[in-house]
Amino acid sequence: QSVLTQPPSVSAAPGQRVTISCSGSSSNIGSNYVSWYQQLPGTAPKLLIYDDNKRPSGIPGRFSGSKSGTSATLGITGLQTGDEADYYCGTWDTSLRAHVFGTGTKVTVL
Amino acid sequence: EVQLVESGGGLVQPGGSLRLSCAASGFTFTSYAMTWVRQAPGKGLEWVSAISGLDVSRSYADSVKGRFTISRDNSENTVSLQMDSLRVEDTAIYFCATLSYVQFDYWGQGILVTVSP
């Protein structure tokens, strides 16, 4: 049972914007950095966002991250068909002393 | 270019053992903690274990503590996961990944472990 909650799915038309929420608690999101991962079908996850809102080299500016209190959000603008994937948030849980991931969100481009 | 290549997966009976390996290249191996993350069929990601760059610390998820052992060979740039007393619920794709503080920067392609009678 994951300690980070995400919506199961979100969808939008090409070119539109979607946001994915990640809800946690004071022992995880509230006190540690959040990262986001994209998992295209049949492939390994890929780091999209780290330290709440930083993008690794090569990740387009269409992807953005933010955090407020015990929740984090991933935003994707200018949605493309190639963005269809599962997205996961992740962080460290100080109480559990474990790395934790969100439940995952499937993004569908209509 | 960073490369992580897992090996050693396969089919094993409940109660059996398996050893996974991950060969790393393209970066200074000792500068990174290494970790294993797994994904059961059709399910989400689950962190399994981590080991620091110089093997000063090792950590495990409660679900595998006492059954799995992580290790690394810094002379060979490899990290391993010894899995004992395997259970059906350990069936998953196991990913090797680099770990920087709390984010998993680079991932291998994954290796399938199936535990079945």
Q: Are A4 and A28 in contact (CB under 8 A)?
A: yes
Closest CA to B55 of B37, B83, B27, B75: B75
Mean pLDDT of B84-100: 97
Q: Residue B61: which of A92, A98, A103 has the nearest Cβ?
A: A98
Which among B37, B95, B103 has CB closest to A50? B103
Whole-angstrom distance, CA of residue B73 vs CA of residue B59: 17
Q: Which of A99, A100, A103, A106 to mutate to test the interface with B (most CBs of B within 10 A)?
A: A99
- Among residues B53, B55, B45, which one has the least CA distance to residue B27? B53
A29 touches chain B (CB under 8 A): no
Residues of A in contact with B37 (CB under 8 A): 45
Return d(Cα B83, Cα B66) in angstroms, integer: 10
**Cα–Cα distance, A53 to A23 (Å, whole number):** 16
- The string of pLDDT tens digits covering residues B1-36 is 999 999 999 999 999 999 999 999 999 999 999 999
Give the closest of A35, A44, A97 to B102, CB-based: A35
Question: How far apart are alpha carbons B14 and B60 in whole angstroms?
Answer: 20
Mean pLDDT for each 10-residue chunk of chain A (110 residues)?
92 97 97 98 97 96 97 97 97 96 97
Q: What is the pLDDT of residue A26?
A: 97
